[in-house]
């Protein structure tokens, strides 16, 4: 199984640029979505765009996604994420991991989507844990980096 790089959606990128999404102090949730959903960098804008295909497994609940912003080198800003842990000994299946601006357990239809990762890049089915851990990590370079202009 190969996990894709984080894909910043177009609306998410614009919301960061105009300050609507505050990466430094906002509340974010990690949302698991099934393979029935077709991700869109253009059209995945708000939580209601993905909620119809959100994981419905009994052990699943959207979970806090803790983001950090740093400057690892001059002129480079990195957005990173702590590991998101959905629990030990859980049975959960999902294809996509979305970062949504909003409080875990209390997401609203209009909460903004920052972006997503494909948990089975190159595959076509959900990945699943059966009575085992289900955790999602950003890669070593963070969720994404931006070079100063």
Q: For residue range 13-52, what is the model confidence (pLDDT) as tens digits?
A: 999 999 999 998 889 999 999 999 999 999 999 999 999 9
- Burial classification of residue 10, based on how many CB atoms lie within 10 Å of its CB (0-12 exposed, 13-18 middle, 19 or more buried): middle
Q: What is the pLDDT of residues 69-104, one digit of tens each?
A: 999 888 899 999 999 999 999 999 999 999 999 999
Q: Is residue 87 part of a domain?
A: yes
- 3-class secondary structure, 16: helix
82 within a domain of the structure (yes/no): yes
**How far is residue 35's CA from residue 98's CA, in Å, rounded to a whole number?**
13
pLDDT band at 140 (very low <50, low <70, confident <90, very high): confident
Rounded distance between C-alpha atoms, residue 57 and residue 74, angstroms: 44
Domain for residue 1, yes or no? Answer: no
Is the residue at 149 inside a domain? no
pLDDT for the residue numbered 49: 98
C-alpha neighbours within 13 Å on the C-beta side of residue 124: 0
Residue range 111-138: mean pLDDT, rounded? 94
pLDDT at 1: 55
Work out the pLDDT band at 148, boundaries 50, 70, 90. confident
Residues 126, 92 contacting (CB under 8 angstroms)? no
If one counts the domains in the chain, the total is: 1
Residue 147 lies in a domain: no
Q: Which pLDDT score is estimated for 129?
A: 95
Q: What is the pLDDT of residues 1-22, one digit of tens each?
A: 568 999 999 999 999 999 999 9
Residue 71 token pair? 């400057």
What is the pTM assigned to this prediction? 0.95
Establish if 148 belongs to a structural domain.
Answer: no
Domain residue limits at 27: 7-139
**Nearest partner of 115 among 50, 25, 20, 52, judged by Cα:** 50
Is 59 buried (19+), middle (13-18) or exposed (0-12) by CB count in 10 A?
Answer: middle
- Residue 149: pLDDT above 80? no
């Amino acid at each position: 199984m190969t996990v894709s790089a984080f894909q910043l959606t177009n609306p998410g990128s614009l919301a960061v640029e105009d300050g609507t999404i505050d990466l430094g102090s906002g509340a974010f949730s990690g949302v698991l979505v099934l393979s029935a959903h077709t991700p869109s960098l253009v059209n995945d804008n708000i939580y209601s765009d993905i909620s119809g295909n959100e994981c419905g497994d009994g052990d699943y609940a959207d979970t806090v996604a803790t983001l950090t912003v740093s400057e690892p080198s001059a002129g480079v800003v990195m957005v990173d994420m702590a590991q998101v842990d959905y629990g030990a000994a859980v049975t959960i299946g999902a294809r996509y991991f979305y970062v949504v601006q909003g409080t875990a357990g209390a997401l609203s239809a209009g909460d903004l989507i920052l972006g997503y990762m494909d948990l089975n890049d190159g595959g076509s089915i959900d990945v699943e844990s059966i009575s085992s851990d289900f955790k999602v990590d950003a890669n070593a370079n963070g969720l994404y980096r931006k070079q100063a202009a």
